[in-house]
Every structure is written in C-alpha cells, then in structure tokens.
Amino acid sequence: MNILILGGSDGSFNQIRPEYEMYIGLKNRGHKITIVIKPDSVYLPRLKEIGVKLLFCYPDQKISLKTIIALRRELSNIHYDIIFANSSKTIPSAAIAATGFPAKLVTYRGTTGGAYRHDPTNYLTILNPIADGVVCVSEAVRQYLLPRFRNRKTRLITIHKGHDIAWYKNPPTSLLEFGITNNDFPIACVANARAYKGLKYLLEAAKSLAHISNLHIILVGRNISVEPYISLIAKSGMAERIHMTGFRHDAPEIIAACKTLIIPSIREGLPRVLLESMGYGVPPIATDSGGCAEVVDDEESGYIVPVKDPDAISDRVIRLYENPQLIQSMSKKCLRKIAADLSIQVTVDRYIHFFETLLNNNSSTS
C-alpha cells in the first residue's frame, strides 16, 4: 500500500512516539509511507534517519489553502491507496484535498465527547461525510461515535495505541527533590487539570489517606496550582505531602518512581499515561471511564474503580500500601499485558488489516 499520513506534530517525544512508531512499523512491513509534518517536530530526526518521505505542508489552521494545494499536487503525481488524517486540525484539509481522488480517507478519534451533530464544525472533522473509515483509540470511543454514523458507509474500528516495553528503560526520576525517600510510598497522577480529568476526586480521596504518614501524592501537569485544587489540597490533611510539579518532560520516569498511578477521570479515550505506567510495570488505579477498563484487568494488572468515587480510590491505594507483594505481582502482569495485547506490533497489524479491508471492499463492489 501507498499511504499518505497527516500525523500529529505537536507534543514531546514521549507524547507522539506511539503514533510515529506505528507509522514506522507500516514502513518496516514493506508499505510506502509519506508523512506530512511540521519542520520543527521532535520526531523529524528519527524519520529522516530511516528515510521516510516527508512533506512540509502541515496545516496551520483547520482549512489551509497551502496544505490543500500541496496535497492535491502530490495526489495528482502519485497514486495513494490510503490518506490517514489523525487530528481535528488535519482532517478538514485532507478531506478537501482528497475529493476526486480514489484514495480511501481514514480519520482518527482519541476521545469521547465533543462530536455533537448540531455543531456544523464537526462535519469538517470527525463527522466528515467523505471519510471511509474512522480509527477509534478505544471501544468506548467507537460506541460513542456509532450513533452519529448511522446510515453512513463510514466504517469504525477500535485500535488501541501500541507501546513497547523497550521504550521504558530509562531509570526512574529521583524523588528527593520532593523530600521523598525510598522509605516512602509515593503515588502519581499525571494530567493537565481540566474538570473531566477528575483531579478533585483524588484530592478528596487524600483525606482518607492522610493518616499514612509516609504516603505522598505527586501531581504532574499544567494548571493544578489553581482553585478548586488549592483549597482541596489545603483541606486534605496532608498538604505538605502533596507535590505539584507543573509540566514535566520526565513524567513517565516520575511514574516509574511511584508505587501506583491514579487516573481519576470522568471521561477518557485511552490515556497515554495509563500505558506508560504499565510499560514501567507500575500498576494503575483508573476509573471505568473510556478505554481504561479495556486495558486494565481489574485486580490483576491494576484496579478499576467507578468514576467520582473518592472512597474507592483510597480503598485501592490502601490495599496496595498494605500488600507490597501485590504490587510486585501486578507489575509483572502489567508488563505481560503490554507485550502480549498492547504492543506496537499488534497495533501495526490491525492498521494494515483495516486499510486492506477498506481497499478490498472497494474492489469487490466496483
């Protein structure tokens, strides 16, 4: 297959690695790939090193005339089988450029919520009527989108973002900067503070954990040192042991230094930090929002708790605190889960199969 990809260029190396390693996996399987990318993308050196064809016409807005012209020129000169646009910023220009060409247009959705049929802008992006397929990061996302695609030819499929435990070999970050020693029990939460991330429920759970004198909570992400979080921390009974780091490039290594990762979200697609945590063998405690329950085997490789339930969060933390052997057991199962079911190789296989299915359906009906 010849595949034209409009990938996501923003973010740190860790943030975009699963996406770009999937593209590289397609190339390694013998498929031709061309990637539309920003010239300042942190993944550019890696792509150049292995000889990926690159186009520097990444859209600077949802409808970018320069991008559309450049893509149509490319599509006129070279036959492509698949056009894959994986963000709301790239889908509109890709869809307009693809009009009149035989390539199948495939889009991507990484979150539940927001795909409102009464919002006309969504028909430029995720509800675009010319899309032949939509890759959903979790079954929860697919189920959310299905009613919005009734009576349409667009095919929706769930493909989890694959990871590789070889990516998670960096040593854990030292937590001494927070006054945390090897005798302490640190837990992490990594999220930019938005209401749907559910951080308030973790901070409410802290009230039931404050009696554990060596337990620390590390909050990694932007916009946490504001209300209502400041007041919740002050009322937690353990304010001096709740540490706000702001954005950190070493967030995965901070998770690796902790006993568990808490994901208290109200809604999710499939949080990247969940897979990073499991890649480091750190068992997560996650709500049953989005794809979390699809990935975590409850009471085996971590815990799944109801949304908006601080008592359930604190209960699972205490279980881990009181049973170090359980952490070790869950850690091994996390690593096995990534290697067996959530590997980058499995993801590449599923993308290839989906793309080929779209193309074969076209040939069988033509």
- Nearest by Cα to 225 from 216, 238, 234: 234
pLDDT at residue 362, rounded to an integer:
62
238: CATH: 3.40.50.2000
Residue 170 sits in the same domain as residue 134: no
The rounded distance, in Å, linking the Cα atoms of 216 and 81 is 52
Residue 226 sits in the same domain as residue 110: no
pLDDT at residue 361, rounded to an integer:
82
Residue 183 sits in the same domain as residue 271: yes
Ramachandran sector of residue 218 (left: φ over 0; alpha: ψ -120 to 50; beta: rest): beta
- Nearest by Cα to 187 from 149, 228, 238: 238
pLDDT at residue 348, rounded to an integer:
98
Q: At what angle do helices 13-28 and 272-279 cross, to 10 degrees?
A: 80
Buried b (16+ CB within 10 A) or exposed e, 75-94: beeeebbbbbbbbbbbbbbb
Residue 174 sits in the same domain as residue 316: yes
Residue 49 sits in the same domain as residue 126: yes
pLDDT at residue 13, rounded to an integer:
86
pLDDT at residue 190, rounded to an integer:
96
Residue 12 sits in the same domain as residue 95: yes
pLDDT at residue 199, rounded to an integer:
97
Q: What is the DSSP secondary-structure string of 8-58? A: ---S-HHHHHHHHHHHHHHHHTT-EEEEE--TT-TTHHHHHHTT-EEE---
Residue 141 sits in the same domain as residue 178: no
Residue 157 sits in the same domain as residue 276: no
pLDDT at residue 366, rounded to an integer:
29
Residue 337 sits in the same domain as residue 347: no
pTM: 0.93
Residue 14 sits in the same domain as residue 108: yes
Per-residue pLDDT tens digits for 205-229: 999 999 999 999 999 999 999 999 9
Residue 331 sits in the same domain as residue 347: no
**Count of structural domains, the chain:** 2
Low-confidence ranges of the chain (pLDDT < 70): 9, 362-366
pLDDT at residue 328, rounded to an integer:
97
pLDDT at residue 365, rounded to an integer:
32
Residue 178 sits in the same domain as residue 88: no
The rounded distance, in Å, linking the Cα atoms of 200 and 350 is 37
For residue 299, give its domain range: 165-341
